[in-house]
Structure formats: C-alpha cells, structure tokens
Amino acid sequence: MTSEKRISSAMSRREFLKMTSGVFCLTMAGPIVNVMEGSMTITLPPLPYAENALEPVISSRTVGFHYGKHHRGYVDNLNKMIAGTELEKMPLEKIMQITAGVPEKSSIFNNAAQTWNHTFYWRSMKPGGGEPPAKLKQKIDAAFGDLSACKKELASAAVGQFGSGWAWLVLDGAKLKVVKTANADNPAVHGMTPLLTVDVWEHAYYLDYQNRRADYVGAVLDKLLDWNVAADRLASAEAK
C-alpha cells in the first residue's frame, strides 16, 4: 500500500498501534514535546525567530495571527480537553499516538496533532532558506531526480491538497517521499518520519496571498525551507 493510500485509509486502532510500535519517535530535531516533566501541561514552544523574520515571504501579521492565535489556540484547547483525564500526564507525542484513528477521540487528536504540526512547521523554515547539505542532496537526487523535481512534487502536493492540510517531505522506510495530509493528520502517526512541512490551511497565507496558494507555496519552497534541519531530522531517524 502506498503512503498516500495509507494516509487516506481509515486505520483501526490495532493497525495503528502495530504500525507505530517502536517507530513512534517524534523527537527528532524538530517538534519538541515541550512538556515539563510532571507539569501535566502542554506548552506553546517559542517561535525560533522573530515574527517578522520570514518577511517578505510571510508577513509579521500572518505569523502573529498564525502563531499567536491559531497555534496557541490548539495548545489551549488541548489542555482544556485533557484536563483531569488519563491523557493529562502524557507527553504530546503519546497523546497523538493513542488518539489517532480513534473516532471518539478525534477532537483531542486534532488539537494535539495541530499543536505538533505547527511546531514542526515553524522549525521547517528559516529566514533565507538555503540548500540541502550533500548527504541529503544525494538522497533527494536518488528519490526525485534532483532538488527541483523534489520541490515540484512538494508544490503539487501542497497546491493539490483539497481544503485544509499539509504537504510533507518524509522518510518512509529508507526512501524519501512527498505526501499530503488533510486537516490535522500527519505522516508521523502513519509510521513515517516527517522531514519538512508546508502548512496549506488558509490561515497560513490568506492575509498575504488571499487565494493564491500556489504563490505562497512556491515562495516558501524557494526562500524559506530549512534543508539543514531536514538533514538533521534525517540523520536522527537513520541513527535509530
């Protein structure tokens, strides 16, 4: 079954646990659990740069709303939902793990995954972007042909995602792939290792680009993606 089909297909809880058993390692150079031991509270990680650092590609106003209202909202909602439950003492990744694919826990999963996805998104970009380091470049060339083809596939996934969602560069087994997910879903709960992501919810770009999602995606891919952090995430996954 392909990654895309895996993502779009409904998984039973047993399938999910089997798939993620031993491989649910989401602390790689990216999304930080950011849970103080024993605090029982999921906290909002600080932005890794100033709110205006991504200009002119993403405005300070967009980052301010996106991080300060949307991302914070997911964190706050999650904390309200898990207060007083068995989930309250768990780290974010664990909450995602045990609520994914469980219909009656979908609201908790959505807020947990959106908390995780956004932290991962902010850390998938840096002012000025850059180029992939040699080892990652070789893997990109092997999987896609070249970096340009990889970006083209990412753009196609990002623009082609119907409605809200995410486009991802992932490590699936030993191979790099591009996948897209809807709403809060992410490849990590499907046994893949995310390396980079682009948020294509309208709140990520509408203030700056209105309906021109392709322009936002193209600018992020060309000017903001942090290929060094992708290489770090890859190295961390391959070391396991």
Binding site for Fe ion (CB under 5 A): 199, 201, 204
Residue 198 or 231 with smaller CB distance to Fe ion: 198
Residue 119 or 193 with smaller CB distance to Fe ion: 119
**Hey, is 11 helix, strand or coil?**
coil
Shortest distance (Å) from residue 233 CB to Fe ion: 20
Residue 164 or 236 with smaller CB distance to Fe ion: 164
Shortest distance (Å) from residue 128 CB to Fe ion: 22
Give the C-alpha separation, 198 to 217, whole Å: 7
Answer whether 220's CB lies under 8 Å from 157's CB. Answer: no
Answer whether 26's CB lies under 8 Å from 116's CB. Answer: yes
Cα-based distances in Å from 128 to 4, 31, 32, 78, 221 = 31, 21, 23, 33, 11
Residue 167 or 204 with smaller CB distance to Fe ion: 204
Give the C-alpha separation, 119 to 32, whole Å: 7
Shortest distance (Å) from residue 101 CB to Fe ion: 22
Shortest distance (Å) from residue 204 CB to Fe ion: 5
